[in-house]
Structure 1
Amino acid sequence: MEAAGATAGATATATATADGSSKPRRSSSRQCSICNERKAALKRPKTLEQICRECFYVVFEEEIHKAIVDSHLFRPGERVAIGASGGKDSTVLAYVLSHLNRRHNYGLDLFLLSVDEGITGYRDDSLETVKRNEVQYGLPLKIVSYKDLYGWTMDEIVKAIGMKNNCTFCGVFRRQALDRGAALMKADKIVTGHNADDIAETVILNILRGDIARLSRCTLITTGEDGPIPRCKPFKYTYEKEIVSRMLISKSWTTFLQNAFTLLMHIVDLLVNS
């Protein structure tokens, strides 16, 4: 009976091979390679480490802190505008930067700066996310609009010029709106959520275009240092997949999905009715 029980137990923990023999089944759970105490929750694309959720929180934030310190991004007392769109990158950036500012005593005066382009059905919802970030992270919020700055909403611009080249108009207006909003709020620097993937894409585009001047600038962690308000990219070395992973385990993920779906429906509506 004991032998039969042992055989049954062995069978339960074995898998059949092609020739009918069996081999031990590998356990699907792995321990975190950092703490070696908790089960791994994800595999980091950057290092291929299997790590737990708690350790991921720590390494994700400390790598960003290292990039900030090594690059001398900020000085104590600086007023810093966080470009907030309501998307995943800026939402995570607002959380991480406010958290690191307290933990490591950067001494920064942080605030959220958002641009209302006037895109019906999209920007309204994403601004609601930014307003929730204001409450969640305890950061002041300033919203500047195309209507106030230029006298036009983006919807009105599209009606006037059509769908062609409207993204070019919006990109130029948005960049100027951030600069003007930051100047209005007397900011010393602007930080944006551009990550390693964004920078890699920009490098490839500039190579394809043969734009050597931009190629030399696009990989810098700080740009516009010769201008009135420099722009910094604390996520320069952060993979987009890890930002998404950070969103997945935060309360902001549901809201982000809702906004992404709203944007998709708005794009479909524009394509159908254009």
Structure 2
Amino acid sequence: MPLNCSRCKEAKAILKRPKTRDALCKECFYYCFESEIHNTIIEGNLFKRGDKVAIGASGGKDSTVLAYIMKLLNERHDYGLNLVLLSIDEGITGYRDDSLETVKQNQRDYALPLTILSYKDLYGWSMDDIVKQIGRKNNCTFCGVFRRQALDRGALKLNCNVIVTGHNADDIAETILMNVLRGDIARLKRCTAIKTGSGENSEENVIPRCKPFKYTYEKEIVMYAYFKKLHYFSTECIYAPNAYRGHVRSYLKDLESVRSSAILDIIHSGEVLAVDEGIRLPIQGTCERCSYISSQRICKACVMLEGLRKGLPRLGIVKSSKVKMIKRLEPDETKSKQSKCGSCNCTNDKPIELN
């Protein structure tokens, strides 16, 4: 027997929310979904009037719904934001080239400016080039490091002072579990923050990043996109099946099937975990080569690029002692002229030296 909506009590319910288990009609689901994201934005103090906001757009469900919601709420609640779409082309044939067509459709649908930056232009390497050299293992690590830096560089180029990403509650819970399993205390603290980066020191190239979907379930994002008939790209990255995150995602789905609140429970656990006094955490500084924010003298992107150029693809993936740094990355004796850094296209002939 059909149920009436538990909110309006009149219309027939068409779905049961995965987060709350409430039976809702379509219009009440829209209201609850949009209102919760608006409350997250207001309570988290994510924006201020006049901000120029770069929306990380990949063409997937999360970024497509994010672009739609940000435009909708900006107009409905008069946030006073200047919204632009920023896409990163990793250079993955048969995946990113297709998804970028979806991003271009989003640009037309939402009438938002779009900028596309590529790994090839920024680093001199596409992901296809990297995978040819390193194989299918650890390629997601390269992509994650490069993509994060590319978004920051793109936002700086567009003079944006805030970046929003479509990371949802499932993504954050997965990241918390991964950092717990790796014993990465520093990242565990950062990954639970709804807003990271102060943006106060422009020399560090730090632009605040916000996650309006921090408490939004992936299933509800999919349902919202479906009912709103939003156009998004749903094919998984061809290099993703070997990613470590995939195993954690499967584990999280098993937990959720037993306890629907498992995702929010894990996020809450990550938020309340604290480090004992006296425990020393890495101090954020800037990379000596590209001036990007880093807790080491040389940022991970520069280390990885150096490894690719030197034929040491594991550099930056495993501890430097395991690859013995191959002559501590001494510059080739046959080359005396300066070479480009690759991460920022500056010239720097100093070899990388890691402690």
Task: Give the TM-score normalised by structure 2.
Answer: 0.64
| Counterpart for residue 21 of structure 1 | none
Cα shift at 1:267: 7.0
Within 2, Cα distance between the matches of 1:267 and 1:208?
Answer: 20
| Counterpart for residue 222 of structure 2 | 244
| Counterpart for residue 167 of structure 2 | 194
Within 2, Cα distance between the matches of 1:57 and 1:191?
Answer: 21
Question: What are the residue-to-residue correspondences of 1:212-231 with 2, within 5 Å?
Answer: 212-225=185-198, 228-231=206-209
Task: Extract unaligned runs of 5+ from structure 2.
Answer: 242-355
| Counterpart for residue 101 of structure 2 | 128
Which of residues 124, 146, 159 is equivalent to 1:151?
124
Cα shift at 1:31: 0.6
Aligned residue for 2:233, secondary structure, equals helix
Which deviates more from structure 2 when the two are superposed, residues 166-175 or residues 64-73? 166-175
Within 2, Cα distance between the matches of 1:267 and 1:168?
Answer: 11
Q: Is residue 2:233 matched to residue 1:256? A: yes
* Code of the aligned partner of 1:168: T
Q: Is residue 2:176 matched to residue 1:203? A: yes
Q: Is residue 2:136 matched to residue 1:163? A: yes
Identity percentage over the alignment?
66
Aligned residue for 1:82, secondary structure, equals strand
Cα shift at 1:207: 1.4
Once the two structures are superposed, residues 2-53 of structure 1 have per-residue CA deviations (whole angstroms, 9 ceiling, x without a partner) of xxxxxxxxxxxxxxxxxxxxxxxxx2x1111111121001001221110000
| Counterpart for residue 79 of structure 1 | 52
Aligned residue for 1:112, secondary structure, equals strand
Once the two structures are superposed, residues 152-200 of structure 1 have per-residue CA deviations (whole angstroms, 9 ceiling, x without a partner) of 2111122233223222111111111111001000010100011111111
Asked if 1 retains the 8 angstrom alpha-carbon contact of 2:58 and 2:87, the reply is: yes
| Counterpart for residue 39 of structure 1 | 12
Within 2, Cα distance between the matches of 1:198 and 1:152?
Answer: 27
Q: Using a 3 Å threshold, how does the CA distance of structure 1 residues 221 and 256 change in structure 2: closer, same or farther?
A: same
| Counterpart for residue 64 of structure 1 | 37
Relative to its length, the structure with more helix (as a share) is: 1
State the Cα RMSD in Å: 1.6
Once the two structures are superposed, residues 70-92 of structure 1 have per-residue CA deviations (whole angstroms, 9 ceiling, x without a partner) of 11100000000000011110110
* Code of the aligned partner of 1:240: E
Task: Extract unaligned runs of 5+ from structure 1.
Answer: 1-26, 269-274
* Code of the aligned partner of 1:39: K
| Counterpart for residue 302 of structure 2 | none
Within 2, Cα distance between the matches of 1:163 and 1:43?
Answer: 39
